[in-house]
C-alpha cells in the first residue's frame, strides 16, 4: 500500500511542478533573439532584421546629450538599400528626445539626460532592410577631374583623426599615387589591408564592457599611430585609408553598418560614391574595390571632414561603454524604455510579411511582436503572439491602449517632422486574468486524497 501511495504522490508532483516552475522543466532553448531573426529570414529571404544596442554608464555626475545614428534608405553606385527603422527604444530617463537629419542624409537621434554616477543610458533599435539593386561594375581606369562638386569638396580636406595634410601621410600617399584614380584607390586599399594586423584585442575592449572614455573618438587611434603600430581594426584602418586617399586628391569618407563594421567610400567622376574595403580576412579574399553591399544594413556615412562615430555624447564626460550587443533576452525590459520611435510601413508590405516588419516587446515566456503601419491616412498598431494577432486603429496626440494575450499596452503617438512616430509614455503591463491551469493540481489532488483516505480507513478496519 505504501508503494502505491508513494507512486501516486510522485505522479502528483510530476503533474503540478511544471506549472509552478516552468523554466526548470523546459528544455534548453537558444537565444530568443537569434530565433526571432531566423523566423524573419525564413519568411522572406530578401528581408533581414536585426537589433542595434547601445548601453552606456555614467562614471560621474553630468548632463549629457547622446547622439546616435539611425539607419535610413541608402543609395550609392554600388547598391540601393531600402531600410525601415521599425522601432528605436529610448530609455525612460531621457528628458528630451529629438531627431535631426544632417547634410549627407544621416538621421540622428538626440536624447538629453541628467545623470548621476552609475546611471545607465540605453537605446535599442530594430532595423529591417532589403537590398534592391547592386552594381559592382566600374571602369578599368578613371582620370582625375579638374574640379569637384561643392558637396564633395569637404571630403578632400584634413580633419579630426584624418590628417590628410600631414607630411608622413602625404609621403606614403604619393608613393601609391597613379594617374588613374581607380588604380590609386586600389593601391591604397591593398597597402592598408596588406600592412596592418587585425587588432582583435582592441575590438574586445570596445565590445566587452570595460571601455571608459570621455569621448568615443579618444579610443580610436589616429592614422599616424596606426602606421607606426601596424595594428588596427576596421574603423581605424578606414581612417588611415581616407587620410591617404584625400592626400592624393581623391574624395573619401567612412561608411559604417549596423554591426559597426566600417569601410570607405570614394567619389569617382560619372559614378559618384563607390564602396571599398580595408579589412579582408577571408581565406580567398574578396575584391576590396568595389565592395559588395549585398548583406549590409547601412547605418551612417561620415558627414564632414572630421571622423564620425555612429554614437557619441556631448560634452566630454567619463562614460563606460557597457554593452553594444543584445546577447540575452534577459537584458531587455520593455518598461525601461519610455519612448519608442517607429517608422510605419505600408499596410501591403506588412501584410505580405508581418514578421519581417515587426519588432518584439516581450520575449519571455513567449515572444510578443508589434508593428506600426499606414493604410491610406490611417495609422494602425498590430500585435501578435504565435498564431494570435490583433490590430487597432490609433489616434495621434492622445492616449491609446490595447489589451492582448494578458497584456495591456498603452502609449501616446506623436508625429515627428521626418515622418516617424514617437510612441511616448510607452507601457506594457500584465493584466489580471484567471489562469485555469491552477485548477489542474486541484482536479488531480482530489482523487489522490480520496484513494489515500480509502486505504487508510481500510487498514484501520483490518487492525
**Higher per-residue pLDDT: 350 or 442:** 350
* C-alpha to C-alpha distances, 208 to 121, 220, 242, 326, nearest whole angstrom: 17, 16, 28, 12
What pLDDT is attached to residue 82?
A: 93
In this structure, whether the domain defined by 137-291 belongs to CATH 3.10.620.30 is answered with yes
Check residue 114 and give left, alpha or beta (phi > 0: left; psi -120 to 50: alpha). Answer: beta
Buried b (16+ CB within 10 A) or exposed e, 444-456: beeeeeeeeeeee
Task: Give the separation between CA 23 and CA 400, rounded to whole angstroms.
Answer: 33
What pLDDT is attached to residue 30?
A: 34
Q: Percentage of the chain surpassing pLDDT 90? A: 72
Return the C-alpha cell found at 205: 575592449
Could you report the per-residue pLDDT of 33-63, keeping only the tens digit for each? 444 443 333 333 355 578 999 999 999 999 9
Q: pLDDT confidence of 463, banded at 50, 70, 90? A: low
Average pLDDT, integer, range 79-108: 94
What pLDDT is attached to residue 9?
A: 54
Could you report the per-residue pLDDT of 57-66, keeping only the tens digit for each? 999 999 999 9
What pLDDT is attached to residue 166?
A: 97
Cβ-Cβ contacts under 8 Å for 85 (sequence gap 6 or more): 70, 71, 72, 107, 125, 126, 127, 341, 342, 343, 420
Reference 162, options 229, 240, 217; nearest CA is 240
Beta-sheet pairing, 62-70 with 311-314: antiparallel
Average pLDDT, integer, range 342-356: 92
Task: Give the separation between CA 5 and CA 452, rounded to whole angstroms.
Answer: 7
- pLDDT of 10 > 60? The answer is no
Could you report the per-residue pLDDT of 407-445, keeping only the tens digit for each? 999 999 999 988 999 999 999 998 865 555 566 666 666
- pLDDT of 365 > 90? The answer is no
**Phi, psi (degrees; rounded to nearest 5) at 354:** -60, -35
Domain extents in the chain? 2-25+435-462, 32-132+316-430, 137-291
Average pLDDT, integer, range 381-405: 95
CA angle centred on 352, ends 350 and 356, rounded to 5°: 60
Task: Give the separation between CA 410 and CA 422, rounded to whole angstroms.
Answer: 13
Q: Percentage of the chain surpassing pLDDT 70? A: 81
Average pLDDT, integer, range 84-98: 95
| Lowest mean per-residue pLDDT among 10-14, 124-128, 314-318, 403-407 | 10-14
| pTM attached to this predicted model | 0.83
Could you report the per-residue pLDDT of 125-156, keeping only the tens digit for each? 999 999 999 999 999 999 999 999 999 999 99
What pLDDT is attached to residue 443?
A: 62
What pLDDT is attached to residue 14?
A: 52
DSSP 334: G
Cell 554591426 belongs to residue: 259
Quote the mean pLDDT of the chain: 87
- pLDDT of 218 > 90? The answer is yes
Could you report the per-residue pLDDT of 264-323, keeping only the tens digit for each? 999 999 999 999 999 876 555 668 999 999 888 899 999 999 999 999 999 999 999 999
Return the C-alpha cell found at 112: 538629453
What pLDDT is attached to residue 462?
A: 61
Average pLDDT, integer, range 177-198: 96
- pLDDT of 29 > 80? The answer is no
Could you report the per-residue pLDDT of 315-347, keeping only the tens digit for each? 999 999 999 998 777 778 999 999 999 999 999
Q: pLDDT confidence of 217, banded at 50, 70, 90? A: very high
Amino acid at each position: 500500500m505504501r508503494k502505491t501511495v508513494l507512486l501516486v504522490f510522485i505522479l502528483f508532483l510530476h503533474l503540478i511542478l511544471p506549472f509552478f516552475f516552468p523554466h526548470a522543466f523546459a528544455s534548453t532553448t537558444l537565444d530568443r533573439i537569434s530565433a526571432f531573426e531566423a523566423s524573419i529570414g525564413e519568411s522572406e529571404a530578401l528581408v533581414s532584421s536585426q537589433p542595434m544596442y547601445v548601453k552606456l554608464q555614467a562614471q560621474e555626475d553630468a548632463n549629457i546629450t547622446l547622439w546616435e545614428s539611425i539607419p535610413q534608405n541608402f543609395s550609392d553606385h554600388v547598391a540601393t538599400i531600402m531600410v525601415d527603422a521599425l522601432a528605436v527604444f529610448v530609455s525612460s530617463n531621457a528628458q528630451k528626445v529629438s531627431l535631426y537629419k544632417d547634410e549627407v542624409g544621416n538621421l540622428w537621434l538626440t536624447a538629453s539626460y541628467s545623470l548621476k554616477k552609475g546611471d545607465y543610458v540605453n537605446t535599442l533599435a530594430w532595423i529591417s532592410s532589403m537590398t534592391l539593386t547592386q552594381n559592382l561594375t566600374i571602369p578599368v581606369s578613371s582620370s582625375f577631374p579638374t574640379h569637384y562638386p561643392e558637396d564633395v569638396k569637404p571630403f578632400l580636406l584634413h580633419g579630426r583623426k584624418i590628417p590628410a595634410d600631414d607630411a608622413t601621410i602625404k609621403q606614403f600617399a604619393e608613393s601609391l599615387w597613379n594617374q588613374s584614380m581607380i588604380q590609386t584607390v586600389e593601391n591604397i586599399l591593398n597597402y592598408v589591408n596588406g600592412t596592418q594586423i587585425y587588432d582583435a584585442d582592441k575590438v574586445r575592449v570596445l565590445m566587452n564592457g570595460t571601455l571608459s572614455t570621455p569621448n568615443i573618438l579618444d579610443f580610436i587611434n589616429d592614422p599616424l599611430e596606426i602606421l607606426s603600430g601596424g595594428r588596427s581594426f576596421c574603423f581605424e584602418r578606414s581612417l588611415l585609408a581616407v587620410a591617404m586617399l584625400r592626400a592624393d586628391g581623391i574624395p573619401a569618407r567612412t561608411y559604417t553598418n549596423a554591426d559597426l563594421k566600417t569601410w570607405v567610400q570614394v567619389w569617382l567622376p560619372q559614378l559618384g560614391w563607390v564602396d571599398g574595403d580595408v579589412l579582408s580576412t577571408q581565406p580567398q579574399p574578396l575584391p576590396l574595390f568595389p565592395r559588395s553591399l549585398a548583406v549590409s544594413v547601412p547605418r551612417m556615412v561620415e558627414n564632414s571632414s572630421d571622423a564620425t562615430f555612429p554614437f557619441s555624447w556631448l560634452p566630454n564626460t567619463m562614460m563606460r561603454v557597457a554593452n553594444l550587443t543584445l546577447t540575452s533576452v534577459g537584458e531587455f525590459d520593455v518598461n525601461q524604455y519610455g519612448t519608442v520611435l517607429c517608422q510605419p510601413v505600408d499596410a501591403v508590405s506588412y501584410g505580405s510579411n508581418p514578421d519581417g516588419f515587426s519588432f518584439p516587446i516581450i520575449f519571455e515566456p513567449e515572444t510578443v511582436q508589434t508593428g506600426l503601419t499606414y493604410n491610406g491616412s490611417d495609422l494602425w498598431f498590430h500585435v501578435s503572439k504565435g498564431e494570435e494577432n490583433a490590430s487597432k486603429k490609433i489616434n495621434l496626440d492622445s492616449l491609446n491602449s490595447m489589451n492582448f494575450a494578458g497584456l495591456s499596452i498603452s502609449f501616446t503617438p506623436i508625429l515627428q517632422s521626418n515622418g516617424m512616430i514617437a510612441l511616448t509614455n510607452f507601457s506594457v503591463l500584465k493584466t489580471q486574468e484567471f489562469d485555469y491551469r491552477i485548477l489542474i493540481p486541484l482536479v488531480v489532488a482530489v482523487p489522490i486524497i480520496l484513494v489515500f483516505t480509502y486505504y487508510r480507513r481500510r487498514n484501520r478496519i483490518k487492525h
